[in-house]
């Protein structure tokens, strides 16, 4: 059974983040009631004509550039004809002859190894209405009708479940960062069809297409189930049919939906109601300029700044936090990344808030970091100030005064406190001299207590070690 090689090609549909639909000015939004963002074009009233949304073309161009595609500047659309209640026109407008992007690739990383997945093409199309089935009845919500989509088709370049999942994670990361789509598989703004074949030699086997897979991890399980089924069929001496299947999450098997239509069944032909549109270099450049720094680039930049891997992972996984970090990192990348991914993020998570909901500003962080560096504040004091700033905002210096935050840096004052604490804790001093490091922590804690948390911890630490060296237990 093991001498079969799996081959996988993936088709992904993503809904684009635009204000309005692909060919009408209805809102591209799922807020509000069913059938509230619709007009005569979305409902295909006779005599209506499509009007191109150039905002959607701009977003699709960004996606094509991110996937390293050649851009087709001569833009034409085609009709894909089929009858279904969710498609009132009786055809879908798509790009069959000249997809906006072709011959691209993305790099994925599986177990530390870089691999190229070639992109056959990326094309623009429109979404269908949403069917809602309830008991004997079916309902249609046309809010989704005409929402801009891009379809991204890979070459059959993947050979394991892990590669397929890594590809999808990469696509999501790119599209979310570049504001192309919110890529929520559970809500249907990202949907994928997985083509799988198996073969014992280098020729490609007959593939099936599995649809309606609800999450990236289910894609992995669907590939596993479908390749297992195909191998069993072949081992039984039968052959694989080109067919469309769906994945049953519960039983972890794929189930036949229909024997595959050929391209011809759709009777593709040029869309006569949209003239050829010629994109120019400025359109492409405008899209390129609108692509922000991508995760791979951020990752290596943060590594060079000395930010630790955990912080990098947290920052890149949280787009909003990462944007904030971009604004404060110059004051000190290590300290600011620790503050953001530590106290600040846990406060947000605990209270179910986002950065938009709190009063903390970029200036607060820059101010805190500079006071930390000049020893006006200890890290303990910063920790105490953060919740107040997050909740109430205001000015750092004013809060320091109100909360009585001063830092004692005066060495003779600190030395006096240290002497006093050592005299009162001779046992710990003995422990320290006998090599018990825990004693140092304990003494440190006592000194901080005596100073009401105002001693500069770094200075205390240095002075304490020094004093302990010369401390006379018999005094
Ligand atoms: P269709 O027009 O039926 O959708 P395409 O030729 O556009 O078919 O291919 C759809 C997807 O199937 C692509 O992602 C492609 O890489 C993949 N694919 C094609 N042949 C195979 C195969 N033998 N095994 C696995 N995937 C394949
Ligand atoms: Mg296809």
Dist CA 272 CA 79 (whole Å): 9
| Predicted pLDDT of residue 409 | 85
Six-digit token pair at 164? 């397929």
Whole-number Å distance, alpha carbon 156 to ligand 1 midpoint, is 7
In ligand 1, the atom with minimum distance to the C-alpha of 263 is 2
Whole-number Å distance, alpha carbon 11 to ligand 2 midpoint, is 7
Per-residue DSSP letters for 150-185? EEEEE-S-B-SHHHHHHHHHHHHHHHHHTTS----G
Q: Which ligand is nearest to the CA of 121?
A: 1
Dist CA 150 CA 100 (whole Å): 10
In ligand 1, the atom with minimum distance to the C-alpha of 260 is 3
Whole-number Å distance, alpha carbon 195 to ligand 1 midpoint, is 6
Dist CA 292 CA 103 (whole Å): 23
Whole-number Å distance, alpha carbon 328 to ligand 2 midpoint, is 45
Domains and CATH numbers, the chain: 7-199+261-283 (no CATH), 293-402 (no CATH), 411-470 (1.10.10.410)
Dist CA 422 CA 299 (whole Å): 47
Out of 155, 191, 207, mutate this one to test ligand 1's pocket (max ligand atoms within 8 Å of CB): namely 207
CA 304 to chain CA centroid, Å, is: 22
Dihedral angle, C-alpha 455, 457, 459, 462, nearest 10 °: 130
Q: Which ligand is nearest to the CA of 199?
A: 1
Whole-number Å distance, alpha carbon 9 to ligand 1 midpoint, is 6
| Predicted pLDDT of residue 138 | 95
Out of 4, 7, 9, mutate this one to test ligand 1's pocket (max ligand atoms within 8 Å of CB): namely 9
| Predicted pLDDT of residue 437 | 83
260, 205, 249, 188: which is closest to 224 by C-alpha?
249
Six-digit token pair at 225? 């189930």
Q: Give, using CA atoms, the residue closest to atom 14 of ligand 1.
A: 9
| Predicted pLDDT of residue 376 | 85
Ligand 1 site: residues with CB under 6 angstroms? 7-11, 153-156, 195-197, 204-205, 207, 263
Q: Which ligand is nearest to the CA of 264?
A: 1
In ligand 1, the atom with minimum distance to the C-alpha of 204 is 23
In ligand 1, the atom with minimum distance to the C-alpha of 154 is 14
Quickly count: other Cβ atoms within 10 Å of residue 445's Cβ. Answer: 11
Whole-number Å distance, alpha carbon 195 to ligand 2 midpoint, is 10
Whole-number Å distance, alpha carbon 326 to ligand 1 midpoint, is 41
Out of 105, 163, 195, 240, mutate this one to test ligand 1's pocket (max ligand atoms within 8 Å of CB): namely 195
- List the alpha helices (DSSP H) in 32-147: 54-66
The SS3 assignment for 429 reads helix
Burial 19-49 (b: 16+ CB within 10 A, else e): ebbbbbebbbebeeebeebbbebbbbeeebe
Dist CA 41 CA 39 (whole Å): 6
pTM score, whole prediction: 0.79
Q: Which ligand is nearest to the CA of 263?
A: 1
Q: Are 296 and 177 in contact (CB under 8 A)?
A: no
Helix axes 426-433, 438-450, angle to 10 degrees: 150
Residue entry with tokens 């390129």: 288
Q: Which ligand is nearest to the CA of 152?
A: 1
Q: Are 377 and 371 in contact (CB under 8 A)?
A: yes
Dist CA 299 CA 312 (whole Å): 7
| Predicted pLDDT of residue 264 | 66
Tell me the pLDDT of the chain (475 aa) as tens digits. Answer: 568 999 999 999 999 999 999 999 999 998 889 999 999 999 999 999 999 999 999 999 999 999 999 999 999 999 999 999 999 999 999 999 999 999 999 999 999 899 999 999 999 999 999 999 999 999 999 999 999 999 999 999 999 999 999 999 999 999 999 999 999 998 899 999 999 999 999 999 999 999 989 899 999 999 999 999 999 999 999 999 999 999 999 999 999 998 876 656 888 999 999 999 999 999 999 999 999 999 989 999 999 999 999 999 999 988 899 999 999 999 999 999 999 999 999 999 999 999 999 999 999 999 999 999 988 888 888 999 999 999 999 999 999 989 888 888 889 999 999 999 999 999 999 999 888 888 999 999 999 889 887 888 888 999 999 999 888 888 6
Dist CA 285 CA 280 (whole Å): 9
């Amino acid at each position: 059974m093991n001498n079969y090689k799996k081959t996988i090609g993936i088709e992904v549909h993503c809904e684009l983040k635009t204000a309005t639909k692909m060919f009408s000015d209805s809102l591209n939004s799922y807020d509000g009631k069913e059938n509230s963002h619709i007009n005569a074009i979305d409902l295909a009233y006779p005599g209506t004509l499509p009007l191109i949304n150039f905002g959607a073309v701009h977003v699709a161009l960004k996606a094509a550039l991110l996937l390293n595609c050649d851009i087709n500047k001569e833009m034409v659309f085609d009709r894909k004809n089929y009858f279904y209640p969710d498609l009132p026109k009786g055809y879908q407008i798509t790009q069959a002859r000249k997809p906006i992007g072709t011959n691209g690739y993305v790099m994925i990383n599986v177990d530390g190894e870089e691999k190229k997945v070639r992109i056959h093409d990326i094309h623009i199309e429109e979404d269908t209405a949403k069917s809602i089935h309830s008991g004997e009845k079916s309902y249609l919500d046309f809010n989704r009708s005409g929402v801009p989509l891009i379809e991204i088709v890979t070459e059959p370049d993947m050979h394991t479940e892990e590669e397929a999942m890594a590809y999808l994670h990469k696509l999501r990361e790119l599209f979310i960062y570049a504001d192309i789509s919110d890529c929520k598989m559970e809500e249907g703004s990202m949907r994928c069809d997985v083509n799988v074949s198996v073969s014992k030699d280098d020729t490609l086997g007959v593939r099936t297409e599995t649809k309606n897979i609800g999450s990236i991890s289910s894609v992995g399980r669907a590939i596993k189930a479908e390749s297992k089924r195909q191998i069993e069929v072949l081992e039984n001496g039968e052959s694989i049919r080109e067919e469309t299947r769906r994945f049953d999450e519960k039983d972890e098997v794929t189930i036949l939906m229909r024997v595959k239509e050929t391209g011809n069944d759709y009777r593709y032909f040029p869309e006569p109601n949209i003239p050829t549109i010629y994109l120019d270099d400025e359109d492409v450049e405008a899209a390129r300029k609108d692509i922000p720094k991508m995760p791979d680039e951020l990752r290596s930049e943060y590594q060079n700044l000395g930010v630790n891997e955990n912080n990098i992972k947290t920052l890149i996984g949280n787009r909003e936090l990462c944007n904030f970090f971009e604004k404060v990192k110059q004051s000190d990348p290590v300290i600011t990344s620790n503050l953001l991914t530590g106290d600040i993020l846990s406060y947000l998570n605990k209270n179910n808030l986002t950065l938009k909901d709190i009063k903390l500003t970029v200036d607060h962080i820059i101010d805190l970091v500079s006071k930390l560096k000049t020893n006006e504040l200890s890290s303990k004091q910063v920790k105490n100030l953060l919740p107040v700033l997050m909740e109430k905002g205001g000015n750092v210096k004013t809060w320091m005064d109100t909360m009585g935050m001063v830092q004692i840096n005066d060495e003779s004052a600190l030395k006096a406190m240290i002497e006093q604490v050592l005299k009162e804790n001779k046992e710990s001093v003995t422990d320290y001299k006998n090599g018990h490091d825990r004693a140092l922590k304990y003494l440190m804690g006592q000194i901080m207590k005596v100073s009401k948390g105002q001693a500069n911890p770094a200075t205390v630490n240095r002075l304490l070690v020094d004093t302990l060296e010369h401390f006379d237990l018999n005094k």
